[in-house]
Chains A and B, each alone.
Chain A
Amino acid sequence: MTVLVVLLYKYRCYKIIHGWLLITSVLLLFFFNFIFFLNILEVYNVSLDWISAGLVMWNFGLIGLLAVHWKGPLMLQQIYLIIISALLALTFIKYLPDWTTWFVLGAISLWDLVAVLCPFGPLRILVETAQERNEPIFPSLIYSSTVAWIVNMATEDETETNDSQNNQSNSNTSRGNRNRRNIQIAAPEAEPENADDVDIEFSTSQPNRHSENRLRGINDDDSEEREATEDEEDDQSGVKLGLGDFIFYSILVGKAASNRDWNTTIACFVAILIGLCMTLLLLAIFKRALPALPISIAFGLIFNFATSGLIAPFSDSLQSNQVYI
């Protein structure tokens, strides 16, 4: 799947990729969402007529599509990207057997490592092509945070060297970026239906304003619109994380939660966050696209099993005897 997308991207078949992404997100936001919505209603024994249910679903899904694929406030976009990942993760947790999930998690983080770091890894090719063309990677595939400080840390000393590479193409568009350069963690693709690829990458690149405009809204030729897009782009600088990562993080935490032991869930959550922090640290050191899954997932898996196997009996007996440490 990843290879297919990379090939399509390389030969500039944008329409096909966009159509594909659109179909998957329509499926997720309407169909899967509907299934889980029904489930929730069933569990809490709430009755709701079809008309209002349809109305709720329609509005929810449509706003999501608009926010993700066209434009919307960054906050809304982030919310919907998280919802999409959560829905997909829920589907996996629900329909995959236990050991398959654990195996998939391990395999996917290894694949992530290969795809991003090997010279011929598909994701690496994708990010590099995107950089060459000075285009941002599809907005529906990455989650961008507004965190700027880590970017500052990563870039203060190396700005000069990195700049020289992109200088020609970016010299007149650097205003929006001021002194700081963007580190993108882009996860070019997370295809819902076929999870064989996950991707997260960190790339140091500066999204080009004009191509951004092109992607976002083809008709914004008047200056006011352009101003607005520029502001939005400013918002978008910062760390970018692939949606695929979100999905697999949520699968891990969700799997831990299905043990009905809160300690495991908390341990997994903290371990994944720490893994992410370490990845960010490495990002600051290496200053290139990095896979975000391996460290986090490894930590998460270790702490999931260690907590349910070792810590849980200890903390349970401490709790039931009311001994505090």
Chain B
Amino acid sequence: MAFMSWFGYTFIAFGPSLAIFTMTIADDATQIIIMFTSAFFWLVSLLFSSIIWQIPFSDLKLRLGISVALCVAIQELFRYLFYLLMKKADKGLLSITTSSTISQTRQRKHKIAYVAGFGFGVMSGAFSVVNLLATASGPGTVGIKGNSDLFFLSSAIFTSIFILLNIFWSVIIFDGFDKRNWKKIAYVFATHELTSLLTLVNVGHQPNYSASITTSCLVLLITTIVALYTAGGNIKSLITSLVKRQVVTQVR
């Protein structure tokens, strides 16, 4: 039973990102390097925010709130630093690219942003859920002391949401940096703070997940649409691209 639920939680949390990785990133060495570099940047940002966590506060919620708010700011700062790095490394990356996918210039910037966001997201997802999953596989019963028995399920759902959100945030904010579009930067920063701080609702003995999950999903939906338009698409082109791919697979 524990193993089966472990399987379920793992694939709720990492299923979408696994699909994204195998379909769009895995076949290009350059993209994998970008992904790991951005994951590393996220790690460094977490290191800095964990230093803030060392400041002791008496109230747990206050301590969590302050460190989460600062952590989000630090993460966005590192996203900006990563953007600067990518801008510098752009030429070098172009010269070593062998696959044609990333060098098709018009979409290349968005693609780099997308891969960078994926690295950020997967790393944060891994850090927020892997240890829980390791516990979930072992012996024990969830919620036996009156805690919510949805603990693992909601954790997995949140992880999945945050991985996707990170991808779209990166796409939007990289474009914002490029065009000095302050609205987009502010949007990303604000929604990131919003969703992260909203998860503070989960703190406590019997949290009500419906509020935080619904708002996160709503933010995810809006962010997805903004990212879609940022990358130069619209709903029509999205549908046609899906339909086209179907035709291609049928022909093959």
Contacts and interface: CB of A to CB of B under 8 A. Distances in A.
Contacts of B191: none
Interface string A123-150: 0000000000000000000000001111
Contacts of A325: 46, 49, 68, 71-72, 75, 124, 128, 196
B95 A153 contact: yes
B230 interface: no
B47 A156 contact: no
A316 interface: yes
B43 A319 contact: no
B64 A323 contact: yes
B169 interface: no
Interface in A288-323: 303, 306-307, 310-311, 313-319, 321-323
Interface of B: 29-30, 33, 36-37, 39-40, 43, 46-47, 49-51, 53-54, 60, 64, 67-68, 71-72, 75, 92, 95-98, 123-124, 126-132, 134, 151, 154-155, 158-159, 162, 195-196, 199-200, 202-203, 207
B200 A323 contact: yes
Contact of B36 (A152, A273, A317): A273
Interface string A237-279: 0000000000000000000000001110011001101100100
Contacts of A315: 46, 50, 127-128, 131
Nearest to B158: A324
A303 B162 CA distance: 24
A149 B97 contact: yes
Given A263-B127, A315-B46, A323-B203, A270 B96 contact: no
B43 A277 contact: no
Nearest to B134: A262
Contacts of A316: 131
Given A149-B97, A263-B130, A274-B36, A321 B64 contact: yes
Nearest to B48: A310
B53 A313 contact: yes
A150 B96 contact: yes
A303 B123 CA distance: 14
10 contacts: A149-B97, A266-B123, A306-B47, A311-B47, A313-B53, A317-B53, A323-B199, A324-B158, A325-B49, A325-B71
A274 B40 contact: yes
Contacts of B29: 147, 149
Contacts of A310: 47, 50-51, 53-54
Contact of B130 (A148, A153, A266): A266
Contacts of A273: 36, 40
A262 B203 contact: no
A168 to B, nearest CB: 30
A307 B200 CA distance: 23
B199 A266 contact: no
A24 B241 CA distance: 56
A128 B30 CA distance: 31
A270 B200 CA distance: 29
A325 B43 CA distance: 12
Interface centre among B128, B134, B195, B203 (most CB of A within 10 A): B128
B195 A324 contact: yes
Nearest to B39: A270
A273 B97 CA distance: 19
B162 A324 contact: yes
Contacts of A306: 47
Give me the 6 closest cross-chain CB pairs, A-B, nearest first: A322-B202, A314-B50, A314-B53, A262-B130, A153-B96, A274-B40
Contacts of A311: 46-47, 50, 127
A311 B37 CA distance: 19
B92 A153 contact: yes
B28 to A, nearest CB: 10
A267 to B, nearest CB: 6
Nearest to B53: A314
A300 B232 CA distance: 40
Given A262-B126, A274-B40, A323-B68, 15 more contacts: A149-B98, A270-B40, A274-B37, A277-B36, A311-B47, A315-B131, A317-B60, A318-B64, A319-B132, A321-B203, A322-B207, A323-B200, A324-B199, A325-B68, A325-B128
Nearest to A317: B64
Nearest to B99: A149
A262 B128 CA distance: 10
A270 B43 CA distance: 9
Nearest to A261: B131
A312 B98 CA distance: 39
A89 B75 CA distance: 35
A270 B36 contact: yes
A274 B33 CA distance: 8
Chain B CB within 10 Å, residue with most, of A152, A156, A274: A274
Contacts of A323: 64, 68, 196, 199-200, 202-203
B154 A322 contact: yes
Contact of B131 (A263, A267, A274, A321): A263
Given A267-B43, A274-B40, A314-B67, A319 B53 contact: no
Contacts of A266: 123, 126-127, 130
